[in-house]
């Protein structure tokens, strides 16, 4: 009888101990989960860096057109036009190394099966391009405004052709990348600090960060030689109370 009472008492003590242990464990797990969730609080912000730079390379194609019914004379005329353009450019200060000449593109309209060229006064039409490749951006901009001098000699330029537009290139992106990324990250942190202050939180370390794609565009259509360089960085910070 005594043995049964002792067994019952031991079982009761074991059961109470188990309940207390489970309760303590639940409390500890709840506290740990709360702390973990608090540790996992974060804020994601973006920082922008945007600057303007002058292009450092200009590719200036001078494309002109001619037409004739005499092919040999047309080739001679092309040679004369190219010589005139090269002389003009060199007189304006461009070196021979900065000037290149493409092969002429000649169309024989009588050899075309389609196109409705029966009433065309000339059998042959041609286009040729003299290209200036230079780092002197301002010289290109200045001399391009003086092409009327060549126009007076009878050269017809295809100024409205997309392929004949001057291209301005900014090649120094790798040199400005580090400082721009630093600026974007610094701006992102300032935004995160403001958010933490407004939410009565403390800003922690960076949880993750990603650098956006750099983009280069013309500042506006009238100033294609001025480039707008832009990057957006995304940064996620930890928050704590």
Instruction: Band the pLDDT of 164: cuts 50, 70, 90.
Output: confident
- pLDDT at position 168 is 97
Taking 90 as the threshold, does the pLDDT of residue 166 lie above it? yes
Contact of 93 with 132, CB cutoff 8 Å: no
Q: How many CA atoms lie within 13 A of 51 on its CB side?
A: 15
Higher-confidence residue of 5 and 170: namely: 170
- What beta strand segments (E) does 7-41 contain? none
Angle at 139 between CA 138 and CA 145, to 5 degrees: 95
- pLDDT at position 26 is 53
């Amino acid at each position: 009888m005594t043995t049964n009472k002792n067994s019952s008492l031991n079982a009761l003590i074991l059961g109470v101990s188990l309940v207390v242990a489970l309760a303590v464990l639940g409390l500890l797990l709840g506290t740990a989960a709360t702390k973990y969730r608090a540790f996992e609080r974060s804020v994601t912000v973006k920082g922008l860096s945007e600057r303007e730079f002058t292009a450092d390379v200009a590719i200036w194609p001078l494309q002109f057109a001619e037409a004739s019914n005499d092919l040999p004379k047309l080739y001679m005329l092309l040679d004369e036009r190219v010589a005139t353009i090269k002389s003009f450019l060199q007189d304006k200060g461009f070196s021979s190394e900065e000037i290149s000449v493409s092969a002429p593109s000649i169309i024989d309209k009588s050899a075309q099966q389609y196109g409705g060229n029966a009433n065309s006064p000339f059998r042959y039409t041609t286009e040729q391009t003299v290209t200036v490749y230079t780092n002197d951006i301002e010289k290109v901009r200045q001399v391009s405004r003086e092409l009327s001098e060549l126009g007076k000699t009878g050269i017809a330029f295809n100024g409205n052709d997309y392929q004949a537009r001057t291209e301005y290139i900014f090649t120094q992106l790798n040199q400005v990348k580090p400082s721009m990324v630093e600026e974007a990250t610094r701006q992102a942190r300032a935004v995160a600090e403001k958010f933490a202050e407004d939410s009565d939180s403390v800003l922690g370390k960076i949880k993750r960060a990603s650098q956006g794609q750099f983009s280069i565009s013309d500042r506006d259509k009238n100033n294609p030689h001025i480039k707008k360089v832009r990057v957006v960085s995304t940064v996620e910070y930890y928050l704590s109370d």
